[in-house]
Amino acid sequence: MESYKKLEALFTKVSRLNHFISLGDWDMNTYMPPKGEESRGEALATLSEIRFGYMTAPEVKEWLDAAKQGKAELSAVQQANLREMERAWRSDNSLPVEFVGRKMRLTTRAHSVWRDSRAANDFAKFLPVLKELVELAREEGGYLAAGTSLSPLEALMNQYEPGITTKKVDEVFDNVKSWLPQLLQDILKKQASESVTAYSEKFPLDKQEALCKEFLRVWNFDMEAGRLDISPHPFTGMTKEDCRLTTNYIEETYVQSLYGVIHEGGHGKYEQNCGPRDMITQPVCEARSLGVHESQSLFAEFQIGHAASFVEYLAKRLPEFFEPQPAFSPENLKKALQRVQPGYIRVDADEVCYPLHVILRYEIERDLMEGKMEAEDVPRVWNEKMQQYLGLSTEGKDNVGCLQDVHWSMGSLGYFPTYALGAMYAAQIMASIRKELGDEKVDECLRTGNLGPLLEKQKEKIWDHGCLYETDDLITRATGEKLNPEYLRKHLEARYLGA
């Protein structure tokens, strides 16, 4: 027990360091002036190296070995915490300290190059850095995979989705690709004859901000333990006690900002309620995986936010913030918000097109990691796959193609599959909630904006458990079975085809 307590103290220190690393990263993406980039990169690299030093100290392995020998003395939560401690320790001890600092410096530099390249629609400017990032990912994957049965790509994916394999991802994505393209065409054909009244007024940014904050209140997001800001790419960051959300605003539509906030608010609710709170600095209190994390944001955005009953509630609330207009009628708003239209931007994609955006990115990452393509091939392959999956060309439009996402500049190859897995988990979780509460009760919650019963179910099924269970076990406990993409298929068919 003494060794385990030493480990708890160590991970509390690591949690405190992570707090300020997250603060530095959040500020870099929101308010940091451009000339602060180099200094910030060095500061974050130094903090990362200090954190890394704690995790790789020789005595940590001794404590882990001793704690595992005395495992019988630990509670079930402590045993799960020990498992997650060892997982984190193995990950960090796979990487040389020199690599950790080098990655932090490269990704800090890459972020500003990516931002400027995207703004200028200039892939050539980003290419030299992308080459470095791909080599870095291959190197990191090699370190993480050493001594395991994982491939370098699988080792990277396991940083975000523990237990995942390319075999499992390929099987699930192949399943989706077997029916989603045809379903998309069927929906487009059905909606082709529907007319949608366009918005007739612009939407002042201050009113949009007020609307977004009100809908965070609808989700019971604790604004005393979080805040809402602006960034080019919406994200959720910082800590459970200080959960920062971002969105961005344009006058032409409120949809981008509102649904960005609903999505990030889903992440934020998970963070603010995740795990056994008396162990908030411990690994067991972290989110189970990024796929599970994404399930909570997509549950908020798609399962709730785009449901017909919730659109009725939104239609009642919009005139409180903007000038009333015909486009706000419940019938028109439903057609507008459930409109399926292939587009270039993943974060703006409807829920039918969304998985295809993710599959495209995963397939490019897989081929990059396996050496089947190189960084200079990315725009061409991206364009080919966009035409194949969504019927759109990105030739000469890399700012809305391969430059649109921040992830590669962060060194986060292997991250993208979690988005599509999250959409599938979300559909499966909602199916189980509807089964338990009944469709009538769920629709009443959506129609009135009283989301309490749905949030309580999310808390019961997902939030309370943190990392207590492995992903398959967590989803099985929540829904009665492991991940099953058929729930996503049935959900999409019912919502868009009335099947």
Q: Give the Cα separation of 465 and 277 in Å (integer).
A: 10
Q: What's the CA gap between 487 and 494, in Å, rounded? A: 11
State the DSSP string of 115-176.
HHHHHHT-HHHHHHHHHHHHHHHHHHHHHHHTTSS--HHHHHHHHHSTT--HHHHHHHHHHH
Q: Give the CA angle between residues 330, 347, 327 to the nearest 5°.
A: 20
Write down the residue that tokens 């530099």 correspond to: 109
For the chain, helix, strand, coil in percent to 5 are 70, 5, 25
Q: Is 264 a catalytic residue?
A: yes
Edge-to-edge strand ranges of the sheet holding 242-247 = 226-230, 242-247, 236-239
Options 264, 286, 351, 365, the catalytic residue: 264
Give strand pairing partners of 195: none
- 334 and 311 in contact (C-beta within 8 Å)? yes
Q: Minimal CA–CA distance to 417: which of 183, 167, 107? A: 167
Q: Determine the Cα–Cα distance for residues 152 and 166; give it in Å rounded to an integer.
A: 10
Burial string for 315-353 (b: 16+ CB within 10 Å, else e) reads beebeebbeeeebbeeebbbbbbbebebebebebbbbbb
Structure tokens at 350: 């409807």
d(CA 27, CA 19): 12
Q: Could you list the active site residues?
A: 264
